[in-house]
């Protein structure tokens, strides 16, 4: 699995989990959704993503967006 797919899958899981938690626990979990969205937006412009750095160090193959 490429780094790009790892990032998109992880972001999707975190967003869905935080939405679910906001419904059953506390609405404050939506801050996590906002943080993930903001991080995706800034990485689109800067190319910097902490998860991409970790995935690269763990041996994931490079993708198109994150090398």
Is residue 33 situated within a structural domain?
yes
The 10s digit of each residue's pLDDT in 13-37 is: 999 999 999 999 999 999 999 999 9
Q: Torsions phi, psi of 2, nearest 5?
A: -80, 165
Is residue 29 situated within a structural domain?
yes
- The range of the structural domain enclosing residue 52 comes to 3-57
Is residue 15 situated within a structural domain?
yes
Is residue 34 situated within a structural domain?
yes
Is residue 16 situated within a structural domain?
yes
CB atoms within 10 A of CB 6: 20
Q: What is the pTM of this model?
A: 0.84
Q: What percentage of residues in the chain have a pLDDT greater than 90?
A: 78
Is residue 8 situated within a structural domain?
yes
Average pLDDT, rounded, for the chain = 92
Domain count, the chain: 1
Is residue 65 situated within a structural domain?
no
**Stretch 2-22: mean pLDDT:** 94
Closest residue by Cα to residue 40 from 4, 67, 2, 64 = 4
Q: What is the C-alpha to C-alpha distance for residues 62 and 67, in angstroms, rounded to an integer? A: 5
Confidence of residue 12 (pLDDT cuts 50, 70, 90): very high
The DSSP secondary structure of 19-43, one letter per residue, reads: HHHHHHT-GGGHHHHHHHHHHHHHH
Q: Looking at the DSSP assignment, which residues form a beta bridge with residue 61? A: 2
**Stretch 35-47: mean pLDDT:** 92
């Amino acid at each position: 699995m490429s780094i790009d797919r790892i990032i998109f899958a992880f972001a999707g899981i975190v967003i869905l989990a935080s939405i679910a938690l906001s419904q059953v626990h506390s609405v404050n979990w939506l801050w996590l959704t906002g943080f993930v969205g903001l991080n995706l937006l800034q990485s689109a412009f800067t190319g910097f993503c902490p998860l991409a750095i970790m995935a690269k160090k763990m041996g994931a193959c490079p993708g198109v967006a994150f090398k």
